[in-house]
Amino acid sequence: MSSKNTNSNIDYTLISIIILLGIVSVFTIYTLQPHLDQNYYLKQVIWYIVGSMAVVVMMLFDFDRLRQVSWILYGIGMILLLMLFFHFPPGIAKEVNGAWGWFEFPVFGTMQPAEFMKVFLIILLAHVIVAHNEKYKNHTLKFDIWLLTKIALVTLPPLALVAKQPDLGGVLVLCAITVSLVLVSGIQWRIILSLVGTAVIAVCLVVAAYIYAPEKVESFVDAAGFEHVESRFQGWLNTEEVGQSGGYQLIRAMLAIGSGQLSGKGIGDYQVVDTIPEPHTDMIFTAIAEQFGFIGSSFVITLYFLLIYRLIHIGLQSNDPFGSYLVTGCIGMFTFQVFQNIGMTVKLLPITGLPLPFISYGGSSTLTYLIAIGMVLSIHFRTKEYMFD
């Protein structure tokens, strides 16, 4: 907590990071342009301009007011997801790559409600936790379980609807948001640790079962409606055998990234990325890695790290717990998406449909993340510095 003047003001560091990410995004899409069917880089520029306006609006808006509209926002998000669930309205609700996750408006373009739901969930969860903590000052076992129940009740409905689309990536992001908020909500360590322990054991059991009796797990997973999850998991485990189907994307991605080597092949000099379908969306990191190699990709990862660092800083500074929780939710969201998106292209994690925040082409996602950043800026803007805390 250094000086009085730099705080309670606009966070230029954060803004610079976002601008840098925006440049990387537009530039990368531009180099991919010869392999794309539409003028995506210009569209992305437009989205950034629209997003910047959203940032300004959000920043000027007192984030504390969000508590009052949190349920309304959540309700809007739920209605949109429910409409998708019933494929309503016909002709506008749209299936892309087997998932019912989009609305397509005639002039406007497409919109992905699950993206907005991420921010709405952050706001509502932050509100629920703050309200709870204000009511129950002590963290006893009983109160903590009550809080956990409330969090679960809020999280599960959108989770189920997104899972039904099906959009595994979206589900995982919502989970990441919830987990990070549970961590900072003040719930006792022993509850958190036992929850984490249970989760770890469960995952280990499923993986072990899959290794020893794949058919049974497969049929169970298929029955639960997650065939695509299983095929991607397959592609991740046995990349070579699955070959054309599940593993194809991964093989191409690994070749693209690997052949970038230390310093990359140079701007627009693609050998592999152009054979990956839709390289400007989820797989955009491969384009960066092939062009600019390890140096370029490490630079991008560092940018993200600085972004998270900055968010943590703002979260720590905020003297309003609601603000801290909002920031934490954003941290969870960004961290998970970056880790999952890059992790899947380098075979750390199975392939999942998730955009790389701020860089992947996409209107709804870019707008959502910029709104989140606007929210964070607003928190920073309104943080009062106590000289003598």
Distance in Å from the first CA to the final CA of the chain? 10
Alpha-carbon 83 to chain mean position: 22
Using an 8 Å Cβ cutoff, are 54 and 367 in contact? yes
* Beta carbon nearer to another protein, 196 or 208: 196
Instruction: Answer yes or no whether residue 305 interacts with another protein by CB under 8 A.
Output: yes
Interaction between residue 155 and another protein (CB under 8 A): no
For position 248 contacting another protein by CB under 8 A, the verdict is: no
In the region spanning residues 344 to 363, those forming contacts with another protein, defined by CB under 8 A, are 346-348
Residue 274: exposed, middle, or buried by beta-carbon count in 10 A (0-12, 13-18, 19+)?
middle
312 makes contact with another protein (CB under 8 A): yes
Please check whether residue 44 is in contact with residue 364, taking contact to mean a CB–CB distance below 8 angstroms. Answer: no
Cα gap 322→121, rounded to integer Å: 13
Q: Which stretch binds another protein (CB under 8 A): 3-11, 118-126, 203-211, 320-328?
A: 320-328
User: Which C-beta is closer to another protein: that of 83 or that of 346?
Assistant: 346
Residue 38 touching another protein (CB under 8 A): no
Stated length of the chain: 389
Q: How far apart are CA 344 and CA 342, in angstroms?
A: 5
Burial 93-105 (b: 16+ CB within 10 A, else e): bbeeeebbbbbee
Q: How far is CA 243 from the centre of its chain?
A: 28
Contacts of 214 (CB under 8 A, 6+ apart): none
Among 152, 224, 261, 266, indicate the residue that binds another protein (CB under 8 A): 261
d(CA 324, CA 130): 10
Of 184-243, which residues contact another protein (CB under 8 A)?
184, 186
Q: CB-wise, 81 or 147, nearer to another protein?
A: 147
The residue within the footprint of another protein, chosen from 27, 110, 294, 382 (CB under 8 A), is 294
Number of alpha carbons in the 13 Å side-chain half-sphere of residue 213: 8
Q: Which is nearer to another protein, 73 or 122 (CB)?
A: 122
Binding segment for another protein among 22-30, 69-77, 113-121, 307-315 (CB under 8 A)? 307-315
Among 25, 324, 352, 365, binds another protein (CB under 8 A): 324
Per rule CB under 8 A, count of chain residues that contact another protein? 43
Using CB under 8 A as the binding rule, whether residue 28 contacts another protein is answered as: no
Place of tokens 């306006």: 53
Return the number of the residue (100 or 336) whose C-beta is nearest another protein. Answer: 336
Of the candidate spans 40-48, 181-189, 223-231, 233-241, the one that interacts with another protein by CB under 8 A turns out to be 181-189
**Helix (H, G, I), strand (E, B), or coil: what is residue 105?**
strand
Query: Which SS3 state, helix, strand or coil, does residue 8 take?
Result: coil
Q: Which positions from 128 through 147 interact with another protein, judged by CB under 8 A?
A: 133, 137
Position 287 contacts another protein (CB under 8 A)? no
Q: How far apart are CA 307 and CA 315, in angstroms?
A: 12
Nearer to another protein, 180 or 234 (CB): 180
Joined together, the tokens standing for residue 198 give: 């249970």
Which residue from 27, 146, 227, 343 is in contact with another protein, where contact means CB under 8 A? Answer: 343
Binding site for another protein (CB under 8 A): 133, 137, 180, 183-184, 186, 254-255, 257-262, 271-272, 289, 293-294, 297-298, 301, 304-305, 308-309, 312, 315-316, 319, 321, 324, 328, 331-332, 335, 338-339, 342-343, 346-348
